[in-house]
Amino acid sequence: MRSITIEVKGKGEALAELDERNPIIREAIWQALPIEGRAILWGEEVYFDLPMPLKDENPSPSSQAGDICYWSPGPALCIFFGQTQPYSRVNHIGKVVEGL
């Protein structure tokens, strides 16, 4: 399993582990690291635009706190930190395991 560090300037860092739920999307994002973006809040989700138009792989209509997902309509990378559910289906690529 691969690990990444997510840094929010002025707020701190979180550790995440990437998983196997959507390996094609996960690998495309892994290859593009490091990625920088301006974070936007939507409920209990933070997301930022990704200049990576990828096709859905195994999208899900729901999420849990800590989930890291790719949202193809954005395209955007989403990090869920509370009870907010996705606006539409997302492709899970990992989970925050420390510092949520």
- In the prediction, which pLDDT does 1 show? 79
pTM of the model: 0.95
- In the prediction, which pLDDT does 8 show? 86
Ranges of the chain with pLDDT below 70: none
- In the prediction, which pLDDT does 9 show? 87
- In the prediction, which pLDDT does 11 show? 85
Vertex 74 angle, CA 20 and 50, to 5°: 70
Domains of the chain by range and CATH?
A: 2-98 (2.40.100.20)
Instruction: Give the Cα separation of 69 and 88 in Å (integer).
Output: 11
- In the prediction, which pLDDT does 95 show? 98
- In the prediction, which pLDDT does 10 show? 87
